[in-house]
Amino acid sequence: MFERIIRTTKRWIANNAENALSDAYQRALYIKKIEDEHFRGQKISPKNCNYSETVCNYFQEELKSHLRLIKLRLNQFRANNSIHSFFDSELGGENKDILDKLNFIDSIVKRYEKPDYYDTSSVVLDDKQSYLNGRGSREVKEELETVSDKTSVLPRSFLRALRRIREEIDPGIPSSEEEVIRSFRKSKYKTAVSIKFLLVLIIVPLLVHNITKITLGRILVDPYFAKHQEIIFINRDLKEEALEELRIYEENLELKIMLGITPELSPEEKREKIKEKARELAEEYRYRGANAIKNIIGDFFAIMAFTAVLVSSKRELSILKSFIDEIIYGLSDSAKAFLIILFTDMFVGFHSPHGWEVILEAISRHFGLPENRDFNYLFIATFPVILDTVLKYWIFRYLNRLSPSAVATYRSMNE
């Protein structure tokens, strides 16, 4: 039984990897076809385009779309191939074909390895002239610089005032209008990329979780539970819940008979009703057990998808970190103090153990695990303390240097 499940899973993963690589290869062939037919075998670029501006823009959009999809398909191929290699380390006979396809895809993609072709925002196209003028690397470096990196001996407000005075009196510095426009474009680009990346981080794991839960659940879990009808409860807690529900149903039935709501029943009729309720409970708890196993499978693949997105999007991750830093450190001192107090009281405060207990119970039900009171109490006694220590260290190590007034406000509000 388990060998058949493993073979089916390996075949499904291998097919996914092959389909992803084939799709990326076909898109690379399409880019090569455009180069040969319309750009004399050269790069798809306005410099090599003999058509009108509208046609050139069309080819540029096609190129960017296919490059993004190639990158996505290659990430899917790597993820599925890694899982397949984990199950089976033997090399197949198709490795030569796979290597040829990968080499061809790399030869196409490397021709366009510039920030222009991988940025998802139109703001980069607006800044194309600044890249040609030699300021691109400086802007990218500035846009990825986080507020937490800007620490110095003097307060930041004092440094900003000096910088503003210097910009107003120094004729060699670009005009304030140009600086405002450049800053706005950079901020707009950073916001767009950060929001898109956040949506990807949320949507991709959820989609992977639900798809794998439905597909693998139907392939692996449902047939197993259908074949083993004797499996009703996957842990002791579910069995106790079912027995408690059955006892309450029996007592309610007796009460309704005594009150005259339900007509008198013979012992056989009463037993038949209780048996019918027991069958309903058995189906319900068998479904809950199967659903818990599906949750484990879905969460495993969702974590892998989340990790793959993080690993393949290091630049977007840096931009997101810079975006979050600007939001947090851009708050007023009282707002920072309020958020710190709210966070600490919610997760490490006096009433936090009740919340952690609810969270642990929900996680146990999600994975179909029996509730372990000893583990819950040990977790509640240690994890909030560790969290509180990390928060205090962050306040002392970073916030105290970046915003001393916020720390002072936090202490006065907390007293």
Query: Is pLDDT of 264 > 70?
Result: yes
For 94, the token pair is 């198709």
Write the pLDDT tens digit of every residue in 60-93.
888 888 888 888 888 888 877 776 665 554 444 4
Distance CA 247, CA 249 (A): 5
Which amino acid appears at position 99 of this protein? L
Q: What confidence score (pLDDT) does residue 93 get?
A: 44
- Quick one: pLDDT band at residue 3, thresholds 50, 70, 90? low
DSSP 279-291: HHHHHHHHHHHHH
Q: What confidence score (pLDDT) does residue 398 get?
A: 76
For 225, the token pair is 């539970």
Distance CA 65, CA 222 (A): 39
Which amino acid appears at position 113 of this protein? E
Q: What is the mean pLDDT of the chain?
A: 78
Query: Is pLDDT of 204 > 90?
Result: yes
Which amino acid appears at position 98 of this protein? I
Average pLDDT over residues 327-343: 82
Dihedral, 52, 53, 56, 58 alpha carbons, nearest 10: -110
Average pLDDT over residues 380-387: 89
Q: What is the 3-state secondary structure (H, E, C) of 326-367?
A: HHHHCCCHHHHHHHHHHHHHHHCCCCHHHHHHHHHHHHHHHH
Of 14-28, 32-46, 286-300, 341-355, which has the strongest mean pLDDT? 286-300
Write the pLDDT tens digit of every residue in 92-141.
444 678 888 888 898 888 888 754 444 433 333 344 444 344 444 444 44
Query: Is pLDDT of 279 > 50?
Result: yes
Q: What confidence score (pLDDT) does residue 96 get?
A: 76
Range name among 106-120, 224-238, 269-283 with the lowest pLDDT average: 106-120
Percentage with pLDDT > 90 across the chain: 14
Which amino acid appears at position 50 of this protein? N
| Residue 189 neighbours by CB distance under 10 Å | 21
Contact (Cβ atoms closer than 8 angstroms) between residue 387 and residue 402: no
Average pLDDT over residues 152-181: 59
- The enclosing H or E element of 184 equals helix 176-216
What sign has the CA pseudo-torsion 388, 393, 396, 398? negative
Q: How far is CA 326 from CA 156, 191, 199, 330, in A?
A: 13, 11, 19, 5
DSSP 367-403: HTPPP-HHHHHHHHHHHHHHHHHHHHHHIIIIIHHH-
Tokens 């027995």 map to which residue?
Answer: 243
| Residue 232 neighbours by CB distance under 10 Å | 18
- Residue 88 or residue 196, greater confidence: 196
- Quick one: pLDDT band at residue 247, thresholds 50, 70, 90? very high
- Quick one: pLDDT band at residue 154, thresholds 50, 70, 90? low
Distance CA 214, CA 221 (A): 10
DSSP 252-271: HHHHHHHHTSS----HHHHH
